[in-house]
Amino acid sequence: MSELLFPRGFRAVTAAASIKKVGRDDLALLVMPDGATAAALFTTNLFCAAPVQLSRQHLKDSRGHASALLLNSGCANAATGSLGASNAIDCVELIANALGVSALSVLVNSTGVIGTQLPMDRIAPLLAPLAKSACEADDAGSLEAYARAIMTTDTRPKMSTRVLQIGDIRIRLSGVAKGAGMIHPNMATMISVVTTDAQLSASELDMLLRDAADKSFHRISVDGDTSTNDSLFAFASGKAGRVDPELLRTALIEVCQELARMIVTDGEGFTRSMSVRVEGARTKEEATTVAKTVAQSLLVRCAVTGGDPNWGRIVAAAGRAGVRFDPSELRLYVGGIEIFAQGQPVVCDAQAVRAAFNGEHVAMILHLGATTGEVGDTNADEFLTSGLTEEYVRLNADYTT
Amino acid sequence: MSELLFPRGFRAVTAAASIKKVGRDDLALLVMPDGATAAALFTTNLFCAAPVQLSRQHLKDSRGHASALLLNSGCANAATGSLGASNAIDCVELIANALGVSALSVLVNSTGVIGTQLPMDRIAPLLAPLAKSACEADDAGSLEAYARAIMTTDTRPKMSTRVLQIGDIRIRLSGVAKGAGMIHPNMATMISVVTTDAQLSASELDMLLRDAADKSFHRISVDGDTSTNDSLFAFASGKAGRVDPELLRTALIEVCQELARMIVTDGEGFTRSMSVRVEGARTKEEATTVAKTVAQSLLVRCAVTGGDPNWGRIVAAAGRAGVRFDPSELRLYVGGIEIFAQGQPVVCDAQAVRAAFNGEHVAMILHLGATTGEVGDTNADEFLTSGLTEEYVRLNADYTT
């Protein structure tokens, strides 16, 4: 099987700077030799990391233009004060100088432990050679090597690609992501980079990206904690030529959804996934609130881990979401089986219910009864998450130690 | 050591109805032979259990008067529809008839699995004899036996008592509680019963109870899930005579706080507790929001379990609380050690920090910097919770199985 590469107009290289562990690539540089339009969504956390603040500013000042993106794993460079800020600036300037481009066109981000400083003595000497090797590279560079270099507690690299043939034009889209922990919808989620060789203006790219994030990264939760470094970047090199941006919408959504699913199914301590779909709400916002509340309930998530058909916890979580609905109108389906309706348990096959809680994926649908039509219910919303496991607790009880 | 008894004017008895397990007392009846004023706070969950709905109505219709309270463990009688409602009514009527009092003066509640029906064939025959034995009892009845009968996954009974000598008058207060899981502040928390022989009007009792709940049960969280059955009952028999209600305020708060602490330290899978105090907020509401967000963060709670000084998670959780503050003004103290200030780590003794995360109790203080005076900071608020443990997940992965 041939290696997955970035689309035309991109060069990706990686290196090992021993930031947290020795011997694995933990620096990833993406270079757009002829530039690219750029868009990004960043974390809403007040403690957004130094590189997030810098990249946000650069993206604004350059009006959505970029020549390079530097990422590292092992250290988030968050809650690191003025030293952290100047370290991020130093990284950008070293890359900009080596590439001979404006610092404004270089973006950065970091992922890993919060509150520690970047080991600049080990990182700085690598940056100019890294930029040089990117310029001299024979091919666009391996998606997998890039995805591996940004991993923290991820157990596997996360990639997704699409190829579209539109008339004579062949457009490629690729995406990589890292996830695993501190995953919660609040703008974007952790670090994802989407690239395409389509020609798009910065505002077209921004619009497509926001829509795709809403339908993917904003609809997953691993643990309810929003990171200090969440960033979703998108770059369009234009090398493949110009097509109607609307033709790319579906492919971009698919790439983002695939990455989002990969993030959930490689979440810390993952054993099985669960989805919560809410229908029949009065408003989309209310559907989102109920779906999110059930998806975040520790007790529901523990029951899913145990394959325990303790569905009372699902309706109890819906009932505390702060959304007004008539409890006697609520219907709960798990794995397609109607379990609860008219305020009481539905007589159903206990063995089938148990099997529905024991599958690879536990699919819950809650119908709030405020609207009747399920087909084309535009107020419906869905969240994807996973069971909460002992392994998650074990991993997070000694993350820095 | 002499057994703890209920105050004068109360009779408590228990019995075994094999509701979930065979051989342990799971019915608890409290009788006020000469009546009592009554107040209660109930869950805000839309799926409030059938007995909660009934008790709320009785308390309203009787204008805060009660003659008896029946509790059971093992089955919550929640999400049980019309059969659940009529079962709760049947329990009340059997008790009312046996005592020769109005059904309106009998309150009930249940705790245990959601979505299953009460085994009325086993419960009903016990109720009249239970009421009879309460009336004939020699003494007020054992607090401990009562507290044990309402336990679900609690590992020990929870009781607190106070005796006040005010002039010639000797007032007794007693409280019992059950907690362990599905604990979150949203009115009251799980089932607690506070009794006193002071003479108080229903509205005085209600006022004192709400204040005490705000300072105790509303400031703890075990898992962020609000139960369908949360109820805090208070009864005043008047047997000891009349004193200024204000003189009871502190003692009642203390009893409730002691019970609340017991609930946290006997939470499912408990190993160590943690408190999050927020000072220097612009408003009390903002302090509450930040304290609650940090106290509920799975990642912070996992770090506490592991004794891992991963304090970056604490500031990250504060930063995503949705409260605006200046990150560079935030100061974080753990175990009294200043760890983070001016947007960056404070140089401090790493071993001392590690020890602060490794104690029986991990005390966090976040100062948001919006106000400077810490003494008498009326906007301060504090939450008490515990580390999230593998044992919690294990217990809740197979609760019904």
Selected for mutation to probe chain B from A114, A272, A324 (highest B CB count within 10 Å) is A114
CATH code of the domain covering residue B391: 3.10.20.340
Query: What's the pLDDT at A85?
Result: 94
Which of A265, A288, A315 corresponds to the end of one domain?
Answer: A265
State which H helix or E strand residue B331 sits in. strand B331-334
Pair of tokens at residue B250: 């502190």
Number of structural domains chain B divides into: 2
Which of B264, B291, B315 corresponds to the end of one domain?
Answer: B264
DSSP per residue over B378-393, as a string? TT-EEEEEE---HHHH
Any domain includes A129: yes
Which residue is listed with tokens 């007032």?
A: B171
Any domain includes A1: no
Residues A257 and A330 in one domain: no
Residues B92 and B35 in one domain: yes
Residues in chain A, pLDDT under 50: 1, 185-189
Which of B264, B298, B323 corresponds to the end of one domain?
Answer: B264
For A227-256, what is each residue's pLDDT tens digit? 677 788 899 999 999 999 999 999 999 999
Query: What's the pLDDT at B336?
Result: 92
Contacts A78 to B, Cβ<8 Å: 312, 316
Pair of tokens at residue B285: 């509401």
**Going residue by residue through chain B (401 aa), what tens digit of pLDDT does each one get?**
457 889 999 999 999 999 988 889 999 999 999 999 999 988 877 778 899 999 999 999 999 999 999 999 989 898 888 999 999 999 999 999 999 999 999 999 998 888 889 999 999 999 999 999 999 888 888 899 999 998 887 888 989 999 999 999 999 999 988 876 555 544 334 788 899 999 999 999 999 999 998 888 888 876 666 667 778 889 999 999 999 999 999 999 999 998 888 888 887 788 899 999 999 999 999 999 999 999 988 889 999 999 988 888 898 889 888 899 998 899 999 999 999 998 888 888 989 999 999 999 999 999 998 876 556 778 899 988 899 888 888 887 876 65
Range of the domain at B15: 11-264
Any domain includes B134: yes
Going by the DSSP 8-state scheme, the letter that residue B191 receives in this structure is: E
Min distance B320 CA to chain A CA atoms (Å) = 5
Whole-angstrom distance between the N-terminal and C-terminal Cα of chain A? 39
Contacts B45 to A, Cβ<8 Å: 316, 319-320
Euclidean distance between CA atoms B365 and A199, whole angstroms = 51
With the CA atoms of A130, A132, A135 and A136 taken in that order, what torsion angle do they form, in degrees rounded to the nearest 10? -100
CB of B64 closer than 8 Å to CB of B207 = no
Contacts B344 to A, Cβ<8 Å: 79-84
Residues A26 and A175 in one domain: yes
Residues B248 and B282 in one domain: no
For A399, which of B226, B303, B389 is closest by C-beta distance?
B303
For A109-143, what is each residue's pLDDT tens digit? 998 888 889 999 999 999 999 999 999 888 888 89
Residues A173 and A234 in one domain: yes
State which H helix or E strand residue A161 sits in. strand A158-166
Q: Would you say the C-alpha torsion A149, A153, A157, A161 has a positive or negative sign?
A: negative
Query: What's the pLDDT at B254?
Result: 92
CB of A214 closer than 8 Å to CB of A382 = no
**Residue B326: closest CA among chain A residues belongs to which residue?**
A46
Any domain includes B2: no
CB of B181 closer than 8 Å to CB of B208 = no
Residues A43 and A130 in one domain: yes
Query: What's the pLDDT at A4?
Result: 85
Residues of B noted as catalytic: 189
Residues B348 and B199 in one domain: no
Residues B184 and B280 in one domain: no
Euclidean distance between CA atoms A133 and B216, whole angstroms = 62
Going by the DSSP 8-state scheme, the letter that residue B4 receives in this structure is: P
Query: What's the pLDDT at A188?
Result: 36
Euclidean distance between CA atoms B147 and A349, whole angstroms = 37
Going by the DSSP 8-state scheme, the letter that residue B161 receives in this structure is: E
Count of H-run helices and E-run strands, chain B: 11, 14
CB pairs under 8 A between A and B: 220
Residues A88 and A183 in one domain: yes
Residues B301 and B378 in one domain: yes
Chain B contact present for A196, CB below 8 A? no
Euclidean distance between CA atoms A135 and A100, whole angstroms = 11
Q: Residue A189 catalytic?
A: yes
Euclidean distance between CA atoms A111 and A49, whole angstroms = 9
Any domain includes A73: yes
Any domain includes B3: no
**Residue B185: closest CA among chain A residues belongs to which residue?**
A320
Euclidean distance between CA atoms A70 and A44, whole angstroms = 21
Any domain includes A32: yes
Residues B215 and B325 in one domain: no
Min distance A46 CA to chain B CA atoms (Å) = 4
Contacts A79 to B, Cβ<8 Å: 312, 315-316, 327, 340, 343-345
Distances in Å between the Cα of B332 and the Cα atoms of A247, B112, B114, B314, B337 are 50, 39, 40, 8, 8
Any domain includes A282: yes
Bridge partner list, B72: B27, B110
B84 contacts: CB under 8 Å, gap ≥ 6: A344, B49, B50, B77, B78, B117, B118
Pair of tokens at residue A350: 């206990």
Query: What's the pLDDT at B226?
Result: 65
Query: What's the pLDDT at A87?
Result: 97
Residue A124 CA from chain centroid, whole number:
28
Euclidean distance between CA atoms B344 and A84, whole angstroms = 9
Residues B82 and B225 in one domain: yes
Euclidean distance between CA atoms B21 and B39, whole angstroms = 31
Chain A contact present for B46, CB below 8 A? yes
Euclidean distance between CA atoms A399 and B308, whole angstroms = 7
Chain B contact present for A47, CB below 8 A? yes
Query: What's the pLDDT at A189?
Result: 43
Pair of tokens at residue A358: 């024991």
CATH code of the domain covering residue A148: 3.60.70.12
Of A189, A271, A305, A389, which residue is the catalytic one?
A189
